[in-house]
A and B are shown apart, each in its own frame.
Chain A
């Protein structure tokens, strides 16, 4: 194996595009290094991206927040403005592993590891997050939801590096929340996860809603029908029931040791409702 720590994105892309075997980006390494140690991956080249200045910071401008691909989870939790604006995204990332893992693991790594149960993904998808990618054929920008292709697989092409996660500008009276179900209080993998992102109109009714689910399908997914069922409502029981039905209809889970498909489908509705209530309470608090 070869190890490189380039100072520019172009150099990272050139190295990864030029390798004949498997090349791998190393950011936090909390998946990659474990997989290498266990013999599950034997990359020919590992490219550490933490010395590329553009990838190491959190930036805010008129287009929203921009999270560099090498930024660790702990840095998100420590960023007061980000946490106030996107509490659901930050709490989702914060659920990933221990403090030791938070010091290393990155949201982009969580995205590229492409676990169906990745906690950050439903929150990022609900937020409408996009990623910037640079590759041998130039840059492109795509919604987060288009990156995972299935368990452990992404749509990234050879030599492509995700450089940034973009969170869009926030209207007033808007907030998000992420909840997951696990059978203990900490340090576990989601049985079901749900991210909900709401924006309220001046009348207090829901003007825009995005609902996403994790751990109930091969990839985290947006449920547009659930969001549509909430728009124009005050999150009353009728609207919630319609959205819950849409959430359960979108579930295509597997049976495994964490739960049966039937159980996951049932719990997805419950977790979605709680996440929606949490997002609504936060959005109202932000309107005061």
Chain B
């Protein structure tokens, strides 16, 4: 089959690309559109390193065919900062040292931002459950949870 022409809204900008039918969204983001902030970890939906938002839901871009992006709105890690301004989740990941090697970080930030848009004041348990699909082998998660809590407090206007 010929390549499929896909029109999608990517980080707020209407974007067109060509994809082979079996190509995942992750492969197109990285290899065709050169948005390499989204990482490939496991390729089987277990690690969350390739997390993106699709129509407001956080999902693994390795679990989605690129052709399915037609007509959808997709946000990758590259769309999280506004202009030169880091998102509070990004800033608090830096301030709380919530990363070491950094490979899982884009996925965590996309997933955490999605959580805070749905729940401005999550409990620690809710944060840990929401981020259960994102694996980090460096931090032990505590610093990540604290960074999300600090970002949530700032976004609520409490700090």
A: residues with CB less than 8 A from B are: 1-3, 5, 26, 28-30, 33-34, 36-38, 46, 48, 50, 72, 74, 97-101, 103-104, 186-187
Contacts and interface: CB of A to CB of B under 8 A. Distances in A.
B88 interface: no
The SS class assigned to the B binding surface is: mixed
A74 B22 CA distance: 25
A30 B24 CA distance: 12
Interface in B64-101: 64-65, 67-68, 70
B51 interface: yes
Contacts of A30: 45, 63
11 contacts: A2-B21, A36-B22, A74-B57, A98-B45, A98-B132, A99-B132, A100-B58, A101-B45, A101-B59, A104-B60, A104-B64
B22 A1 contact: yes
A37 B54 CA distance: 20
B44 interface: yes
Contact of A99 (B62, B67, B70, B130): B130
B133 interface: yes
A34 to B, nearest CB: 5
A48 B68 contact: yes
Interface residues of B, number: 29
B58 A103 contact: yes
The 5 closest A-B pairs by CB, nearest first: A98-B133, A103-B57, A3-B21, A103-B59, A2-B1
B106 interface: no
Contacts of B67: 3, 5, 48
A46 B114 CA distance: 30
Nearest to B44: A34
A30 B43 CA distance: 11
Given A1-B22, A33-B62, A103 B68 contact: no
Given A2-B1, A37-B44, A38-B44, A99 B58 contact: yes
A98 B65 CA distance: 19
Contacts of B54: 103
Given A1-B21, A30-B45, A101-B45, A187 B132 contact: yes
Contacts of A28: 63
Given A1-B1, A103-B57, A103-B59, A50 B132 contact: no
B13 interface: no
B43 A37 contact: yes
A84 B60 CA distance: 29
Contact of A34 (B45, B59, B68, B114): B45
Contact of B132 (A2, A38, A186): A186
Given A100-B48, A100-B111, A33 B133 contact: no
B4 interface: yes
Contacts of B24: 33, 37
Interface string B16-42: 000001101000000000000000000
A100 B133 contact: yes
A103 B58 CA distance: 7
B31 to A, nearest CB: 14
